[in-house]
Amino acid sequence: MIIEPVVIPKGTHNVLRKLTGQTRPDIALSLAIKDLVRLRMKEEREQINFFENKYKMAYAEFEKACKDGRVKDPYSYEVEKDDFAWEAAITELDALEEISQWLV
């Protein structure tokens, strides 16, 4: 495996240093990425919580409720839009959780 050096522009390095307090670019970049992943995970959890509170159930139960009639008008624009956004948030959170395991 050949590891090629990464060049970080001076301006980007300055921003990373200010954001993280680290002078070493490798550590600063790692910390910034961790923070970004944590922030995105928080946003996806908030989105999931919003829909769980709106429908008073978890997504798996929501899917069943749409099929068995417990969700009123499951093919309406609003419900379908929520379904799509809710599922996307869950998928994104899963991906971010996997990514977070790679970060040291």
Report if residue 63 sits inside a domain. Answer: yes
pLDDT at 104: 67
Report if residue 1 sits inside a domain. Answer: no
In this predicted structure, the answer to whether residue 2 has a pLDDT above a threshold of 90 is no
Domain count, the chain: 1
Report if residue 28 sits inside a domain. Answer: yes
Whole domain around residue 87: which residue ranges? 10-102
Report if residue 70 sits inside a domain. Answer: yes
Report if residue 2 sits inside a domain. Answer: no
Instruction: Give per-residue pLDDT as tens, 72-88.
Output: 999 999 999 999 999 99
Report if residue 3 sits inside a domain. Answer: no
Report if residue 26 sits inside a domain. Answer: yes
Q: How far apart are the first and last CA of the chain?
A: 20
Instruction: Give per-residue pLDDT as tens, 10-61.
Output: 999 999 999 999 999 989 999 999 999 999 999 999 999 999 999 999 999 9
In this predicted structure, the answer to whether residue 1 has a pLDDT above a threshold of 90 is no
Report if residue 95 sits inside a domain. Answer: yes
Amino acid at 93: L
Angstrom distance (rounded) from CA 25 to CA 10: 10
pLDDT at 55: 97
- Dig out the tokens for 80 from the structure: 């379908």
Q: Please, which pLDDT band fits residue 103 given cuts at 50, 70 and 90? A: confident
pLDDT at 50: 98
